[in-house]
Chains A and B, each alone.
Chain A
Amino acid sequence: MNEPVVTVYTPDSSLSNPLVMVREMFRDLFASRELAWQLAVRDIRAQYRQAFLGVLWAFILPLANTVIWIFLSRAGIVSIGETQLPYPVYVFTGTMLWAILMDAMNAPLQQTNAARAMLAKLNFPREALLISGIYQTLFNAGIKIALLIGALILLGMNPGWHLLLFPFGVFSLILIGTALGLLITPVGALYSDVGRALPLLMQFLMYLSPVVFPMPEAGWASTLFRINPLTPLLLTTRDWLTGVPPEFFGYFLVVNAVAVVLLLGVWVAYRLAMPILIERMSA
């Protein structure tokens, strides 16, 4: 028989012993892989078993959004500047990629809230919830991407070899989405205000990103668009998808590097927060 695991619980913050903490983080991450898979399969099955339209829901919303914006621009209700790509392609790819980002961002808080009953009563690696959320985002993203690529071919676009780089773009979107989502989870699990304010905030952010509008050429709006760290992600990913040489590749790499560091940081915060959240959830 191998040496039994000894677990010690004290009031000390695990930050006081960072080496042990990091080792435990990766041990739990590794231990959670099967559970994460089971949870993801459970959620995806349950979600689609109860819905008549099934997997269609993965892209109905962005599709509707696309149709609305094409209508608004054709009817001349809003005037949209020149885009390098045909506008329908621009807005369709934009909303699809944005939807993937949103999925990734909502997942951590959503998963944590949905698992309250389990969290309050059972001890399992909390990382499983995050990984399961990422799996589900990937699954839904897969459906969207299949549709996206199908539509692009129908519209006569040929991305060429750049398409091979496209998955990296999607991963970056999910990476930064998860990092941002995880950042707000500890407070969001305590106060429901966060969950309510988030969609509002994201709506704003969408109009400050090249999703349905092209980049403004000059003025303060242009500066905002350029500073917005989501801009290089969306543009580069879209460029790879449509075969246009990416313009913001340098910034894209920087954002990704920052996102990795951020993700590690908020992961630590999430772990530290969990016992406190559980205590207050059931109090």
Chain B
Amino acid sequence: MSDTLVKVDGVSKKFCRSLRRSLWYGLQDLGNELHGRRHGGNGELRPEEFWAVKDVSFELKRGECLGLIGRNGAGKTTLLRMLNGLVKPDQGRIEMRGRVGALIALGAGFNPILTGRENIYVNASVLGLSKRKIDEKFEEIVDFAEMEEFIDAPVQSYSSGMQVRLGFSVSTALEPDILLLDEVLAVGDSAFRTKCFNRIQNLISDCTVVFVSHTMPQITRICNRVLLLDHGRSLAQGSELGSVIAHYHGLSGTTEPATQEEGSGRARIESVAIHDGQWHTRSEFSNGEPFGISLHLWLPAEARADEPKLLITIAGEEGSNVAQIYEPIDAIPASEDFSLRLEFKSMPFNAGRYSLTASILLGPRGELAHVTRGSATFTIRHTYVGYAPIILRPSGYSALPIS
């Protein structure tokens, strides 16, 4: 089947920054609505309003999965809420063909005092399942959530992980034509996450999916198209996942890590730069390319005599370190100021943005003489986006028969 299930045409939505004004505008909108006037006027912004989503268009057929990506506040969730019919667009038109299922708020409407069993019935009815259908699926839901023992205990006695598991299990029990997912795959422990993932991949095969996530590996695993939103506008979209994701990584984040300096000051790192194989400064690489790091150091004689060492850590976008370089600084020129070059044959990282923290350590206990956080950043772009931060490439492989 190749029927178009979702059709979004030039959709825009305004939001207001101030709560007091927002409520007042709400009252005005209510008045307009009751007079039968169009929502959102003629596309003009009232004071303190901005476009949360602006002129977004796309179409999705059955079997397609669209990944919505963008930095925080780019309008992804707002767009999803419009697709779900929760809020009206201020401009444009949305057409949804078929049953819509949304995995947005897992376990919304759970009453903590009631038992898991009672809550399954309520939650499933909210999602639009009939009583008979729930009876049929009840076992399956409980099974999937792995909750047999606790199903007659009140939900307030569940751990948060258990509640989310039950919520996920109920939400995925209905068989929608259009499925809206908002960062729901980060639930439960890792075994349950894998289960969720497989469940969603099963669901996808027979419907259209709109998936919001910040985790690019998830996007590449599930989606066959992506739409990049930035400040409500559609910056790029298409089935070339890699290039759109690269565009996303190239966006300067609103929370650009500012360079921070610490340390006792007995030695200094004046600058850090990233280079390509020919020692030209560069900030974008592909996986597998040769690269180099150069540092301008100031190391007085006193520090030189104190076992100076260089420590560089490389952190991914979420801030966790993915690699480190630890080298003693020796064989150095006589001048206090000098440049240190580190060469690497192959860039090992997955697509994404990375930032460097360089430090000089002195003495046997590793006194921190100078630390510069976020002193250099670089981006890896390539069409393939893997799951793990480091992609190892074997230098050779062979297959041997086992006798």
Contacts and interface: CB of A to CB of B under 8 A. Distances in A.
Interface of A: 4-13, 15-16, 31, 34-35, 38-39, 42-43, 45-46, 49-50, 115, 117-124, 186-187, 190-191, 269, 272-273, 275-280, 283
A8 B92 CA distance: 11
Contact of A283 (B22, B85, B177): B22
B34 A269 contact: yes
A145 to B, nearest CB: 27
Interface string B15-59: 110010011011101101111111110000000000000000000
B58 to A, nearest CB: 15
Nearest to A47: B113
Contacts of B26: 190, 276-277, 279-280
Contacts of B131: 34, 38
A118 B126 contact: yes
A4 B118 CA distance: 30
B96 interface: yes
Given A11-B89, A122-B126, A276-B39, 10 more contacts: A9-B93, A12-B39, A31-B128, A34-B125, A46-B114, A122-B109, A123-B100, A190-B26, A275-B85, A276-B33
Given A34-B125, A34-B130, A279-B87, A4 B109 contact: no
30 contacts: A5-B98, A6-B96, A7-B95, A7-B97, A8-B96, A10-B89, A11-B91, A34-B131, A38-B121, A39-B125, A42-B118, A117-B109, A118-B108, A119-B86, A121-B86, A121-B108, A122-B84, A122-B102, A122-B109, A123-B84, A123-B86, A123-B100, A123-B102, A272-B33, A275-B86, A278-B86, A278-B87, A279-B88, A280-B23, A283-B22
B200 interface: no
A15 B34 contact: yes
B299 interface: no
A46 B114 CA distance: 6
Given A50-B113, A121-B104, A12 B126 contact: no
B353 to A, nearest CB: 30
Size class of the contact patch on chain B = 35 or more
Contacts, number: 155
Contacts of B185: none
Nearest to A268: B34
A40 B279 CA distance: 71
Contacts of B104: 121-122
B17 to A, nearest CB: 9
A276 B102 contact: no
Going nearest first, the 3 A-B pairs with the smallest beta carbon separation are A121-B105, A15-B36, A280-B26
A243 B47 CA distance: 63
Nearest to A48: B113
Q: Which of B27, B32, B127 gathers most chain A CB within 10 Å?
A: B27
A121 B109 CA distance: 10
Contacts of A118: 105, 108-109, 126
Contact of B114 (A6, A42, A121, A279): A42
B376 to A, nearest CB: 39
Contact of A187 (B27, B85, B109): B27
Contacts of B128: 31, 35, 124
A8 B96 CA distance: 6
B121 to A, nearest CB: 6
A9 B89 contact: yes
B347 interface: no
Given A122-B108, A272-B34, A276-B26, A46 B98 contact: no
Given A9-B94, A11-B91, A13-B39, A35 B125 contact: yes
A11 B40 contact: yes
Contacts of A16: 36
B218 interface: no
Given A5-B99, A124-B128, A11 B90 contact: yes
B294 interface: no
B93 A13 contact: no
B311 interface: no
A282 to B, nearest CB: 8
B162 interface: no
Contacts of A9: 82, 85, 88-89, 93-94, 96
Contacts of B286: none
A215 B36 CA distance: 43
A31 B128 CA distance: 9
Q: Which of A35, A45, A124, A191 gathers most chain B CB within 10 Å?
A: A35
Contacts of A4: 97-99, 177
B111 A13 contact: no
Contacts of B121: 38
A44 B34 CA distance: 34
B297 interface: no
A45 B114 CA distance: 8
A7 B36 CA distance: 20
B87 A275 contact: yes
A283 B16 CA distance: 8
Given A42-B118, A276-B30, A276-B33, A122 B38 contact: no
A199 B120 CA distance: 35
B295 interface: no
A188 to B, nearest CB: 12
A243 B72 CA distance: 68
B338 to A, nearest CB: 56
Contacts of A276: 26, 29-30, 33, 39, 88
A13 B125 contact: no
B161 to A, nearest CB: 19
B151 interface: no
A9 to B, nearest CB: 4
B86 A120 contact: yes
Contacts of B100: 7, 123
A131 B133 CA distance: 22
Contacts of A12: 38-39
B210 to A, nearest CB: 14
A7 B91 contact: no
Contacts of A283: 15-16, 19, 22
A38 B36 contact: no
A13 B37 contact: yes
Nearest to A121: B105
B147 interface: no
